[in-house]
Chain A
Amino acid sequence: MNPPEAIHESYTRRIWRRFHADTMARNGFRTIIVLFIIAALAPFLANSHAIVRVAHGRVTFPVFPSLEPIEWRFLLYVPLAGLAWLLRRRLLTRPWRGAGLLLAVIVLIEIWLAYHHVVNDPSNDRDRPATFKWMPLVAYSPLETASEPFLPPSWTHPCGTDSTGRDIAARMLHGARTSLSIGFVAQSIALSVGVTLGSLAGYYRRWLDIVICRLIEIMDCFPPLLLVLVAISLTESQNHMFYIMVVIGLTTWTGVARLVRGEFLRLSNLPFTLAAQAGGAGDLRVIVRHILPNALGPILVVGTFGVASAILLESSLSFLGFGMQAPTPSWGDILNESRLYIDFAWWLAFFPGFAILITIMSYNFVGEGLRDAVDPRLRIK
Chain B
Amino acid sequence: MLTGAPLDTDVAIETPEHIVFRHRLAGPSRRFLAFLLDLVICYTAFSILAFVVLLVAIGAAAATNAAEGAIGAGVGVLLVVLFGLQWVYFAVLEAWKGRTPGKAALGLRVVTTTGRPIGFRAAALRNVLRAADALPLAYTAGLLSLAGLVSMSTTRRFQRLGDLVAGTIVVIPERASVAAPLILFPPAQPFELAQLPDDVRLDADERLAIEMFLRRRARLGRARELELAHMIATPLAERFGFRAQDPSRTLALLYDRAANAGRVDAPPSSRTPGSWR
Bound pair (A, B)? no
Residues of B in contact with A (beta carbons under 8 Å apart): none
